Chains A and B, each alone.
Chain A
Amino acid sequence: GAVVSQHPSWVICKSGTSVKIECRSLDFQATTMFWYRQFPKQSLMLMATSNEGSKATYEQGVEKDKFLINHASLTLSTLTVTSAHPEDSSFYICSATSGLDTQYFGPGTRLTVL
């Protein structure tokens, strides 16, 4: 149980284009989903918290207009990186919780912006 999937697992795009990443909870309803970013050999950095049907709460320093988050249902959240640039290249990971404390993580999405 408690499986979270992400799609795509990796994506390469040109600078200036937008990329959408999906995060799904497969066997539970996720009241809250989180989006993290991880640079090589560093720990996870929380970007935003999203609750189903509500606007996402962004961490300080995260650009809301660049990283659009939608949590339209209890099993799906999406992160759209708008007008991506090479500095947005990173490993993006989502997590989900059913309202209890434990967060279950997806496998991550490797984004490379050329």
Chain B
Amino acid sequence: EDQVTQSPEALRLQEGESSSLNCSYTVSGLRGLFWYRQDPGKGPEFLFTLYSAGEEKEKERLKATLTKKESFLHITAPKPEDSATYLCAVQANQAGTALIFGKGTTLSVSS
């Protein structure tokens, strides 16, 4: 069964304190792995797509990496505005374009 597990469920950081979020996945054939950011009461905002092991992508303070079993979202020197829930999703070869989501990691950054 295709599955996505994110850890930790919640993470509290001080402003400037770098950390990483984990997304481990089990999928029959990975077509793509996606990271989204979701603010309360809003729809997910697209961050990154990763397709193959070893691939990395960066955007401002965020960097996403991918291995054959997991992905990491590294947050460097976070700011309070980075507080949100970060969702990881995979797209399996056999599932067409449907996404399988993890439960998310809720990040809180305090100043």
Q: Which interface class (under 10, 10 to 19, 20 to 34, 35 or more) fits A?
A: 20 to 34
Contacts of A110 in B (CB 8 A): 41
- Is A19 part of the contact surface with B, judged by Cβ < 8 Å? no
Contacts of A107 in B (CB 8 A): 42-43
Tell me what chain A mostly uses at the interface: helix, strand, loop, or mixed: strand
Distance A43 CA – B99 CA, assembled complex (angstroms): 12
> Please, which residue of chain B has its CB at the minimum distance from the CB of A41?
B106
30 residue pairs from A and B, CB less than 8 Å apart: A6-B43, A34-B98, A42-B103, A43-B87, A43-B101, A43-B103, A46-B98, A46-B99, A49-B96, A49-B97, A49-B98, A91-B41, A93-B43, A95-B43, A97-B97, A101-B31, A101-B32, A101-B49, A101-B91, A102-B32, A102-B34, A102-B46, A102-B49, A103-B46, A103-B99, A104-B46, A105-B36, A106-B43, A107-B42, A107-B43
